Every structure is written in structure tokens, then in C-alpha cells.
Amino acid sequence: MSSPAADDALPAPPDAALGLFRVLDDEGALVDAAAGEPDADLALRAYREMRRVRLLDARMILQQRQGRVGFYGACTGQEAVPVATGLALEPRDWVFPALRESSVMLVRGFPLPRYLAQVYGNAADVLKGRQMPSHMSGRAVNQVSWSSCIGPQLPHAVGAAWAAKLRKDDVVAVGFLGDGASSQPDFHAAMNFAGVFRVPVVIVCQNNHFAISVPSSRQTASATFAIKGRAYGLPCLRVDGNDVLAVHRAMTEAVARARAGDGATFVECVTYRIGAHSTSDDPTRYRSDDEVRAWEKKDPLARLARHLRARGLLDDAADAEIERVIVADVAAAIAEVEPVGAPDRLTLFDDVYAEPPWHLVEQRAALARTPPAPKHGEGP
Ligand SMILES: Cc1ncc(C[n+]2csc(CCOP(=O)(O)OP(=O)(O)O)c2C)c(N)n1
């Protein structure tokens, strides 16, 4: 047995909740070359998916500025987390997003035109125009609608995971939050239940340093967000959220742990919201250009591109072709869904009751007899 003095001399083990797990450094070089090169197909797929989200967001912000959609919430600078998550999950797993993870759906195969139809809220939208734009969800890819309240998706994710455990379903749930949501009671309830009942859930905090205008330093006095998991008895890990390969590895391990029956994990992904909170926000009111420029240097796409180029997996021509295809796909999707009209008014009565009560049956019939109101600019 070693003496206490000898134990004291040992260096402290690295603390996963206080460190920053990375596969690539800011320049795109491998942090641990001995661990081997990341899978080339995975890296290229992640790059294409992140490019798609970035270009799509830029185009949709223009649509909003032109008055063609009412609102849009982009995730510019934060593409790595949704893309890595989408690539780490099985189709049977469930996703409970917060504000910036809608695009997990695209990675998991949801068609782009239907995804964009949600922003227009028209008849092609699977949500029948009932949600605020940028609150996409789809049963086909097990992605639940975000309620727009900050936090409740976390108990939902834990509940779904708990149900899967009770039913002995081989299913994992992932629940997302921003750093601001860690101040909500639902976060603590979810973390506690996840720990006590050892449910197959991964709770992922995207620490993008702001909750609208409130900096993360006003959300917590903890050294990191990841370390909060320890109080609930959860393994917790702090990851570079701008390193898609690191997030993919962390998520793959956390999902495997959950699926093996070894319980929940809490992951903090350290990132930065490069753009505005939403199209209704002006971030120049609460943060400096210097800060934004410094984070732009850590851009997740540029970093992965440097890595791919260094390995000979990407060059200017291939990159331009990736962009050309995405821009054409986005334009085609918009052209397809923009002219689609509003959902039928009678769909208002759908999806609430299996057997509609008599008064709703009457109201539905009355609405069906009433001619639609004239559109703006029409009529007398
Ligand atoms: C319960 C509740 N309070 C306040 C809001 C208004 N609100 C919308 S987004 C947001 C900030 C969320 O910050 P964070 O959780 O860090 O996510 P981020 O926007 O940074 O991705 C707030 C306060 C809300 N939607 N719900």
C-alpha cells in the first residue's frame, strides 16, 4: 500500500467538469495525435451539415429582413452541437431541444422544405402553423416541440427517458438548455430526477455566454456549468462546443452510457452566439465588437475546414461545390414552400380531442359555413 505522503505527491487527476475536452485546437490540429485521426467520413459529413445550417440561417435572416417571414432564430457560431448530436444518435432516440438545436432534425433526415414550412407556418408545416417560427419539431425524427418557455423541456426529456427505462425500451433522450436556463427550477428538478432514477438521458447545456443580454457570469457563481452535475450525482463533462469532433465523441460516449443502463450524463458545451439572439435583438447594445471578433477566431466551421484541408480532405473547389449545392437546395426549398397558403382554418379543431365535445363540433360546423375574412388589401 502506498503511503499518504506518496499519494499526496501524485498530481490531481484532470477534472472533466473543470477542463475543456477538445479533439482539435483552434487551428484545427489534433490535440492528442496519439489518439489517431478522426474518421474522415464523419468529419466531412459534420462539415457539410454545419455549412448547411450556417447558410440556411443566413438566408432565413434575409427572408425576415425582407418581410417574408415574421421571425427567425439562428444558431450562428453554435452549429457544432446540434450537428454532432444528430450524428451521435440512433433514429429511435428522442430530442428535446431548446432555442438553438432545431437543426438536429435536419441531420437526422427531416426534409428541408418541411422544416422551412414551419417558419412560414403554412399548410406544408407539420405543426399546422401553430408554433412561433424557428420552433421546429417532427414526429418522424422524434424531435419534440420546444414550448418557448425556458426550461420545461428538461423534465420532459427526463420523463421520456424514465418511461423508456420502465418499458425497457432501448431508447435515449437528449434534453438541451442554454446557460440562462440553468437558473430555472426545471433544470434542477430534471437534474435531480435524472440522477436519482438513473434514467437514460443526456442533458446538454450550450453555454453560449449570454441569455439574451444577460452574461453567463450573472447566471452562476460556479466555476463552470458542468460542475453543477456533480451535486446531482451525474457524471459531468465540459467540452469545447466549437469543436464538432469533440462534441461528437462526448455525446457518443454519454449516449452509450445511457443506453447501457448506466444513467444520465450532464455535458456543458462551451460556445458563443456570434449573431443576434433572434431577429428581434440588437446585440451591439450589450457586448463589444472585440469580444465577438475574438470568438469568430474560434469558429467551428473554420476550425474543421483547416483540419480537413490539412488532411487533404477538402480544397477550394470541393468547398465551393459544397456551398453551391447547399445554396441551391435552400433556394429550391424556399421556392417550394413560400407560395403554400395558410393552413385550412378547420385544422384549428384538430389534434386536441380524440372525440371532440359537442360544442366544438358545433363551432367547427359554424366556421365551415362562414366565408373566410378578406385578406389584407381585399374586400370593400
Ligand atoms: C420562462 C421564460 N422566461 C423568459 C423567457 C424569455 N427568453 C426567451 S429566450 C431567453 C434567454 C435564454 O437564454 P439561454 O437559456 O442562455 O439560451 P440562449 O438563448 O442563449 O440559447 C429568455 C430569457 C422565456 N421564453 N421563458
Q: What is the 3-state secondary structure (H, E, C) of 308-356?
A: HHHCCCCCHHHHHHHHHHHHHHHHHHHHHHCCCCCCCHHHHHCCCCCCC
Q: Distance (Å, rounded) from C-alpha 210 to C-alpha 43? A: 28
Q: Which of 96, 99, 207, 271 to mutate to test the pocket of ligand 1 (most atoms within 8 A of CB)?
A: 99
| Residue 208 in contact with ligand 1 by CB distance below 6 A | yes
Model confidence pLDDT, tens digit, residues 308-330: 999 999 999 999 999 999 999 99
Report if residue 342 sits inside a domain.
no
Q: What is the CATH number of the domain that holds 74?
A: 3.40.50.970
Retrieve residue 370's grid coordinates: 362562414
Mean pLDDT within 352-357: 94
Q: Global pTM?
A: 0.94
Asked if 53 and 183 sit in the same domain, the reply is yes
Asked if 332 and 377 sit in the same domain, the reply is no
Range of the domain at 360: 348-380
Domain count, the chain: 2
Report the chain's terminal Cα–Cα distance, integer Å. 94
Indicate the SS3 state at residue 204: strand
| Residue 182 in contact with ligand 1 by CB distance below 6 A | no
Asked if 146 and 253 sit in the same domain, the reply is yes
Model confidence pLDDT, tens digit, residues 110-161: 999 999 999 999 999 999 999 999 999 999 999 998 889 999 999 999 999 9
Asked if 281 and 318 sit in the same domain, the reply is yes
Retrieve residue 155's grid coordinates: 423534465
* Ligand 1 geometric centre to CA of 208 (Å): 12
Retrieve residue 207's grid coordinates: 453555454
| Residue 77 in contact with ligand 1 by CB distance below 6 A | no
- Catalytically active residues are 273, 277, 286
E runs forming strands in the chain: 94-96, 173-178, 201-207, 210-211, 214-215, 236-240, 265-270
Asked if 311 and 370 sit in the same domain, the reply is no
Burial (0-12, 13-18, 19+ Cβ within 10 Å), 228: buried
Q: Distance (Å, rounded) from C-alpha 320 to C-alpha 84? A: 23
| Residue 179 in contact with ligand 1 by CB distance below 6 A | yes
Asked if 296 and 371 sit in the same domain, the reply is no
Asked if 237 and 95 sit in the same domain, the reply is yes
Report if residue 14 sits inside a domain.
no
